[in-house]
Amino acid sequence: MVADDLRQPLDKIGMARIRIGIDTGGTFTDVVAFDAATGRLLATKTASTPAEPATAFMAGIAKVLGLLGLDYDAVEAISHGTTVATNQLLEDDIGELGFITTEGFEFVLEIARQAVPDGYGNSYFWVKPPRIVPVHRVSTVPGRLDHAGAEVRPFDTEQAEAVARAFHRRGISTIGVCLLHSYANPAHELAMREVLAREHPQAVVSLSCEVLPEYREYERSMTTLVDAAVKPRIAAYVAGIRDRLDAEREGLPFYVMKSNGGVLSATEVVHQPITTVLSGPAAGALGAALVASVAGYDSVLTLDGGGTSTDVSVIVGGQPSVTTEGQVGRYPTRIPMIDVVTVGAGGGSIAAVSPEGTLKVGPRSAGADPGPLCYRKGGTEPTVTDACVALGRIPPHLLGGEIPLDVAAAEAGLAALAGQLGMDPDRVADGILEIFAWNQANAIRQVTVKRGLDVREFMLTTFGGSGSLLACRLVDILGLRGVLVPRDPGTVSAFGLLTVDVRNDYVRTRVSRADELDLDATAKAYEELAAQAAAALDREGFGPDAQRLVRSADLRYYGQAFEVRVDAPAGPVDGSFAATVLAAFHDAHERLYGYCYRDQSQRHPVEWVNLRVTGIGPITRPALVAAERGDGRLERALIGIRPVRFDEWADVPSYDRARLAPGDLVAGPAVIEEFGSTVPIHPGFTAAVDDYTNLVVTR
């Protein structure tokens, strides 16, 4: 993927225009710089600082600029993928939230939905987890709108003031407001915000009419409350980075990755913090999609293996699937996001003895601090990385020697674990990697088999520091066609940040039977949504000629509980427009579920539910160029030969990936090493270097 090896820094270029992508992970912070003047790319890593992520962010910029021989004056823009909101939700650290809703609906969070995570298992009963806001911090305000937005009862300003004062007295300063049917008419929620501004000016407030203006009260309430919960921390984090950047160069453009596959300026993102909850994984999926598409694979699975987790997604037709049915931790978040499944399986996943006396790997992770035993930073339990080091599958160092690894410490930790299990240490290390592989395979099955896709039809694109460690084993477990490993796989997520456009999504609920669709009202709604999208892009610096406004709609058969989203054409909203959308819905329903009611409109009428407009501000993407073919002689890339265990110990060659060239073919057993990742090639597998220096691993 990356055109320049780290040991060959870019020359200082007077007219350099550098864009930098920075992805913060649990173990490392990844940095990729793109020189728009020459099309050249450079990637590097620095250790994450979990207690203060902004420190690693600034260290990463300093490191890459030092390698380039440039300063902040050469930087055109910085894009950032952050895990601040994600980690806050995964850690259940949501603080003391307050919730204001319509009188009579104070138990909307308690009622919730019937869904039971992972089924009932062996239990006869399932107890719902604690609500995000307990009942004693829920307040109601009289006033009522109907589903079309017409006022049934007026908003009670006096009671609203009493509610605001009560929250003020109790010290509850983070508040979500979700009043009934505010998606159709925001007047009551806007009035509530005015009251809070007067009576409780210190409060951080999220309104559902701004966060998620669509129907379904529970999902809208939860999404609004999650937005409120992460808003203070995201605002402080972004402001802290903004201040540090301004100290280096005032006004430097700074963007944050959103879950929907776009970026947004830091100034705007603090008003939409929930949009960042899957920031990093979304960037990785997009970066991998571009690399795979250029290599000739439009339909692939992506696997991003980091220090603490593995993220997987599906790419079809060069584009990742997008969902509004996402969830982070135990919190449903009904916003557009790249459809990513995350499992607690990473290089830092801890191996231990389960209560039943068997070997268990993850989801607990050693992370960056203290990290695996071999890091020599105070870790006390063996991890996946320790198993790989002990088996010789990764060299005794990381990042090209920047981080030396203590092989003896890893072996001692595995021996101690083996003693508890009554097993040979090598067999324990084998078992750790086997469990790790199955954990990753189960995540892949969630985005394929569970959704009606045949996993055997896909190539797998692996990236991240630990993503390619068991690529060959995943081919065997899942029957995959093969694995594509990009150049510098450890920094693909950071690279992905340089490939994404500015993107905003706007939605409005308008439920109507297809045969009763009011075309004029639909046209007006689309025009208003488009105006919102255009205004946001104007604020981001995109003039009318640079903007792309894309329509879509959510439809369903009457009586169904959930919708199918389809593209809606540009142009007049007339009978032809409606017919085109209707046909697209029938096609999509048949593709997803195996049937449709295309010719049975009387018995199974179609219902329009949500109208959507996406505003896109396009950016210039880095071009991936083919490299010169090599002479086929692997000796130029040979590092040496060392003992490595796959099924048994053997002397195995290791190769420097930076010196491999298109046309080279590495036969297993072998190990291919590079700055941010290692690819073990199992016996019976080969790794071919394609024209773009990707590794194509097949049996």
Rounded Cα–Cα distance for residues 284 and 413 (Å) = 32
Structure-token pair, residue 133: 């806001």
Q: Is residue 434 part of a domain?
A: no
How far is the CA of 412 from the CAs of 373, 389, 633, in angstroms?
Answer: 9, 12, 39
Cβ distance 606 to 514 under 8 Å?
yes
Residues 101 and 160 in one domain: yes
Tell me: do 650 and 590 sit in the same domain.
Answer: no
Domain annotation covers residue 347: no
Residues 143 and 207 in one domain: yes
Q: Is 417 within the bounds of a domain?
A: no
Burial 590-628 (b: 16+ CB within 10 A, else e): eeeeeebbeeeeeeeebbbbbbbbbbbbebeebebeebe
Determine the pLDDT at residue 400: 67
Portion of the chain with pLDDT greater than 70, in percent: 95
Long-range contacts of range 118-124, CB-CB < 8 Å, 24 or more positions apart?
none
Q: Which backbone phi and psi does 106 adopt, to 5 degrees?
A: -65, -15
Q: Count Cβ atoms below 10 Å from residue 657 Cβ, excluding itself.
A: 25
In a domain, 422, yes or no: no
Judge whether 484 and 535 are in contact, CB under 8 Å. Answer: no
Tell me, what CATH number does 22's domain have? Answer: 3.30.420.40
Based on the fold, state whether residues 123 and 252 are members of the same structural domain: no
Going by C-alpha positions, the residue among 542, 520, 530 that lies closest to residue 570 is 530
Looking at the structure, do residues 229 and 262 belong to the same domain, yes or no?
no
What's the distance, CA 607 to chain centroid? 31
For residue 124, the model assigns a pLDDT of: 52
Own/partner pairs, 448-454, CB within 8 angstroms, 24+ separation: 448/301, 448/314, 451/314, 452/592, 452/594, 453/314
Same domain, 550 and 578: yes
Position 229 in a domain = yes
CB-count exposure of residue 38 (10 Å: 0-12, 13-18, 19+) = middle
Residue 263's SS3 state is strand
Predicted pLDDT at 365: 82
Residues with Cβ within 8 Å of 168's Cβ and at least 6 positions away in sequence, in order, are 199, 200, 202, 203
Tokens of 304: 């991003």
List Cα–Cα distances, 257 to 54, 78, 148, 242, in angstroms: 15, 11, 34, 15
Question: Which stretches in the chain have pLDDT values below 50?
Answer: 1-14, 122
Q: Angle at the Cα of 512 (from 511 to 516), degrees rounded to 5?
A: 170
- Tens digit of each residue's pLDDT (9 = 90 or more) over 595-649: 999 988 888 999 999 999 999 998 877 878 888 888 878 999 999 999 999 989 9
Answer yes or no: is 303 within a domain: no
Is 216 a domain residue? yes
Q: Which of 233, 252, 286 is the last residue of a domain?
A: 233
Q: Where are the beta strands (DSSP E) in 584-694?
A: 606-617, 638-645, 649-656, 665-667, 670-673, 678-681, 686-689
CATH of the domain at 526: 3.30.1490
Q: Which stretches of 40-173 are assigned E, i.e. beta strand?
A: 40-47, 75-81, 97-102, 138-141, 144-145, 151-153
Distance CA 596, CA 353 (A): 50
Residues 511 and 644 in one domain: no
Of 587, 617, 647, the residue at which a domain comes to its end is 617
Percent of the chain with pLDDT over 90: 56
- Tell me the DSSP string of 460-474: EEEESTTTTTTHHHH
Pull the structure tokens for residue 392. Answer: 């010789």
Lookup: tokens for 671:
């190990």
| pLDDT tens sequence across 316-331 | 888 888 887 777 777 8
Q: Model confidence over 539-556: pLDDT tens digits?
A: 888 889 889 999 999 999
Domain final residue, candidates 215, 246, 276? 276
Report the predicted TM-score, pTM, of the whole model to 2 decimal places.
0.81
Q: Both 224 and 261 in a single domain?
A: no
Is residue 606 located within the same domain as residue 526?
A: yes
Q: What is the mean pLDDT of the chain?
A: 88
Query: Domain containing 515: what range?
Result: 502-617
499-550, pLDDT tens digit by residue?
A: 888 888 999 999 999 999 999 999 999 999 999 999 999 988 888 988 999 9
Q: Are residues 100 and 158 in the same domain?
A: yes
Beta strands 502-513 and 606-617 are antiparallel
Q: Are residues 163 and 210 in the same domain?
A: yes
* Gyration radius from the chain CA atoms: 26
The answer to whether residue 497 sits within a structural domain is no
Residue type for 106, please? Answer: E
Shared domain for 519 and 581, answered yes or no, is yes
Q: What is the pLDDT of residue 79?
A: 92
Counting the structural domains of the chain, the total is 4
